[in-house]
Amino acid sequence: MSALAEIYLDLHQHPELSGAEVRTAGIAAAALAEAGYTVTERVGGHGVVGVLVNGDGPTVWLRADMDALPVLEETGLDYASTVTAVDADGETVPVAHACGHDMHTTALIGAAQQLAATTADWAGTVVAVFQPAEEDLSGARAMVDDGLLDRVPHPTVILGQHVAPGPAGMLFYHPEYTLAASDALEITLFGRGGHGSRPEATVDPIVMAAAVILRLQTIVGREVAATDQAVVTVGVVEAGTKNNIIPETATLKLSVRTFDPVVRSKVLAAVERIVRGEAAASGAPREPEIVTLYSGPATHNDADALATVLSAFHARFGGQVMEVPAGTGSEDFGQLGAAAGAPSVYWFLGGADPQLFAPPADLFQVLAEIPSNHSPEYAPVIEPTLSMGVDALVTAARAWLDR
């Protein structure tokens, strides 16, 4: 087994929650330092940045995220995670790399090492960015707010990738908007509590919440054009403690996904209008509270930069590169390019057993049937996923850096 694969196994067996990536950050920092990078640690929490200056030329940022999820791994692998940790709410939870960030981290370590070993072939500056807290879309912003752009050379381009359940050995991309913007909202509805036998003496926040939930579903169906895309999901409903008590409050937690910034603004405004309107219609004694828990912009591929990457990918990998539809998952990768005013490119790395896709299997049918990111059963095959992840980052970087 390669030294890089051993790093991957180590990271997979020792996952860390968002904001707690101490051990993972230490491994990344040590690998960068050994490869000759100038290393800065604890950027925006546990972020790590390595800089390798190799003469005059472009500055290419390569980004990987490091955090894991509160998921009980059920892959059956002999290297499956058995880790538990205390989360931000003080609860002990299982932890697993169910989204593949261990693969991202390891691939960037490998790419950084390879670029450091081949400096005779390229010129410019490589900046390896190991980002914490992607899962709650806070890490990239935290690094920027902590002076990332003042600590390292300004990027010519920012490159990133994400492992996905497509066949390992393949690369996937989508032009323009490739992942959705995400807005997580917490809504508190205020009623007037009382006995369940006397609802006329109360303002029932549960009924109010039910009306809000149903009306929110009309946003996508009746306010967003069929040619646009949006998702509004109510994932949490909390109210009450006993069957015969009408509570004082009800809480909803929403996930809103959009691509176009205009559609995003329209959907968020509609959410607020509906929540406030239903509260007024119910006779609520006070205005509802709407709090943004976290948010992140859509991930957008710059057209010219994507063309440069694709040219290099096609030359290197031939038919192993495929265009796919945009996804409604979300990332905070785009925060880096937006803050730096630099173009960015983001692609997907196949991580599933290629044999599952052998003819006559249909690609999209297989994708619908196998475990995907965030599933307790999700884990990429180590090879050829890892080798392709390293090669893709190096190939994309050298599209700018080659002499």
pLDDT tens-digit series, residues 14-49: 999 999 999 999 999 999 999 999 999 999 999 999
In the chain, domain spans: 3-179+298-401, 181-295
The predicted model gives 358-383 an average pLDDT of 93
For the chain, the residue count is 403
Query: How many Å apart are CA 380 and CA 169, to the nearest integer?
Result: 11
Query: How many Å apart are CA 172 and CA 177, to the nearest integer?
Result: 14
Of the candidates 173, 167, 175, 178, the one whose C-alpha atom is nearest the C-alpha of residue 328 is: 178
CATH architecture of the domain covering 3-179+298-401: 3-Layer(aba) Sandwich (3.40)
Query: How many Å apart are CA 352 and CA 118, to the nearest integer?
Result: 30
pLDDT per residue over 328-352, tens digit each? 899 999 999 999 999 999 999 999 9
For residue 204, what pLDDT band results from cuts at 50, 70 and 90? very high
pLDDT per residue over 301-317, tens digit each? 999 999 999 999 999 99
Residue 29 and residue 98 in contact, taking contact as beta carbons nearer than 8 Å = no
pLDDT at residue 137 tops 90:
yes
Q: What is the pLDDT of residue 363?
A: 81
The predicted model gives 127-136 an average pLDDT of 97
pLDDT at residue 126 tops 90:
yes
pLDDT at residue 364 tops 90:
no
Q: Residue 190: CA atoms inside 13 Å, Cβ hemisphere, count?
A: 9
Q: How far is CA 66 from the centre of its chain?
A: 11
Q: What is the pLDDT of residue 280?
A: 97
pLDDT at residue 245 tops 90:
yes
Q: What is the pLDDT of residue 403?
A: 77
The radius of gyration of the chain from alpha carbons, rounded to an integer in Å, stands at: 23
pTM of the full structure: 0.92
Is 181-295 a domain of CATH 3.30.70.270?
no
The predicted model gives 198-210 an average pLDDT of 97
pLDDT at residue 1 tops 80:
no
pLDDT at residue 161 tops 90:
yes
